[in-house]
Chains A and B, each alone.
Chain A
Amino acid sequence: MALSNVVETPASGFNFENVSRNVALEGLLEGGHTKAPKPMKTGTTIAGVVCKDGVVLGADTRATSGEVVADKMCAKIHYISPNMYCCGAGTAADTEKTTDLLSSNLTIFSMNSGRNPRVVMAVNILQDMLFRYRGQIGASLILGGVDCTGNHLYTVGPYGSIDNVPYLAMGSGDLAALGILEDRFKPNMELEEAKELVRDAIHSGIMSDLGSGNNIDICVITKQGVDYIRPYQESEYKDKRQRRYKYRPGTTSILTEKIVPLELEVVQETVQRMDTA
């Protein structure tokens, strides 16, 4: 006999019960001139290039929520496995959770089979999941990695489409970045040249696209290992405010004060020296 407190496994896919509630709320909110909260999108420029020794991935660091910059230093290059990293554009929560899920799955696979995962496997898992959700997960991903079969760069779209290409850009600044990549990409480039190319592509996205900005992150994946340079280049625009805007204590008036003494007895005391060298 089933116990009454056993949790039911939820039905697969999305639960759309709240859609009608949201529509009703939106109607009420619009009448009161307030808007429903917008999900944070990464409105981004991400790019990837395959070079002679490995794969170079790059991304900007601005996350926008509508027209406001929500995060000036957000990390868009996500860890998948020791030999694979993934850049994500689209809805921030979707890219983070999807790449996290992929990373966990691949770790379990590595432990089960004793092998490093291949890039094609990661791509197939991503494609399978995004297609199953019919585009409701708004994540455009660039997956790059080095495995026993070589250096690979793939893109996975939100509806589940994939593409295997030597150079790539995604996000709202993709057209600007692609212009630079189309102009200067050559097959089998040297590592330093590839890093400069990706940096220039992201920089062009940052300048031309309002959804991208701030700093540039670069991730270099080679057979020897991974070099995650964050930030590769800091934005040259530092805020140079002329006056200092500090407030004296007491500027905010205290209306009431209530002090609750906490009676504690010392049970154990340990001293740890800080290394202030």
Chain B
Amino acid sequence: MFAQVYGDNGKMKEYHYSGPVEHRFSPYSFNGGTVLAVAGEDFAIVASDTRLSEGYSIHSRDSPKCYKLTNTTVIGCSGFHGDCLTLTKIIDARLKMYKHSNNKSMTSGAIAAMLSTILYGRRFFPYYVYNIIGGLDEEGKGAVYSFDPVGSYQRDTYKAGGSASAMLQPLLDNQIGFKNMEGVQHLPLNQEKAVQLVKDVFISAAERDVYTGDALRICIVTKEGIKEETVPLRKD
């Protein structure tokens, strides 16, 4: 009796008899995870939780979703883990090819443009990945580029993606973009306050989103290099 309780993808089935059901193989699966990027005056932060889940189970508590691309760029990928891994391998290979042909590393803006074409190349069988690139642009200012699964992108100051994105984005709009507030001083964001805000925002996301939790990996990109920090989150 209990075998029928769980449907195809591990989620509990609705309790009613719906007649004969045709089961189709789905090439995608949703592995959860939330990614966040913030751009400052001379720094950029890319943060992600480290939980890998499927249905109601946890595959891993230590699977960070930020990947270092160059000394000045970090990418955060969440969605279907298989596609995240393949996509980052492809980007790494393309970065190497560029370095060998042009004798210099790719800039953040160039990586973003390239990723957009890679994603659109698979327009009719997309990579199920929500990407956010964070890094420094040619002038040394912080840059954040956010993508949709088929390659549409734009440069932002801050962006949240993944399962808890709908909860985090309004909070960032308010705290970093000063939206929906009157009579508040628009102080520029410094690195310390940005890191504190990112930690607090993920603690809140872990409270209410079941797919976010376990630990938080923060990558801080400055002209000195990339610094990583890990903070524990709720494990339940």
Contacts and interface: CB of A to CB of B under 8 A. Distances in A.
Given A67-B211, A72-B207, A136-B15, A211 B56 contact: yes
Interface stretch (A186-194, A223-231, A235-243, A257-265): A235-243
A134 B18 CA distance: 12
A157 B1 contact: yes
Given A208-B57, A239-B203, A243-B200, A90 B15 contact: yes
Nearest to B163: A67
B183 A241 contact: no
Interface string B176-205: 000011111000000001001101100110
A43 B56 contact: yes
A144 interface: no
A209 B203 CA distance: 19
A214 B57 CA distance: 16
Contacts, number: 91
B182 A210 contact: no
Contacts of A90: 15
A158 B15 contact: yes
B57 A209 contact: yes
Interface in B185-232: 193, 196-197, 199-200, 203-204, 207-211
B1 A210 contact: no
B200 A242 contact: yes
A68 B209 contact: yes
Interface in A225-277: 235, 237, 239-243, 245, 247-248, 250-253
A117 interface: no
A50 B183 CA distance: 62
Contacts of B184: 248, 251
Interface string A43-71: 10000000000000000001010011100
| Chain A interface bracket (under 10, 10 to 19, 20 to 34, 35 or more) | 35 or more
B12 A68 contact: no
Contacts of A158: 15
The A interface is mostly helix, strand or loop, or mixed, namely loop
A67 B210 contact: yes
Contact of A172 (B12, B53, B193, B236): B12
Contacts of A28: none
A4 B236 CA distance: 58
B15 A250 contact: no
A245 B15 CA distance: 42
A241 B57 contact: no
A243 B194 CA distance: 11
A22 to B, nearest CB: 13
Nearest to A209: B56
A138 interface: yes
A17 B67 CA distance: 53
Interface of A: 41, 43, 62, 64, 67-69, 72, 90, 134-138, 157-159, 161, 172-174, 206-214, 235, 237, 239-243, 245, 247-248, 250-253
Interface of B: 1-2, 12, 14-17, 53, 56-58, 163, 167, 175, 180-184, 193, 196-197, 199-200, 203-204, 207-211, 233-236
8 contacts: A206-B236, A208-B57, A210-B211, A235-B234, A239-B207, A242-B196, A251-B181, A251-B184
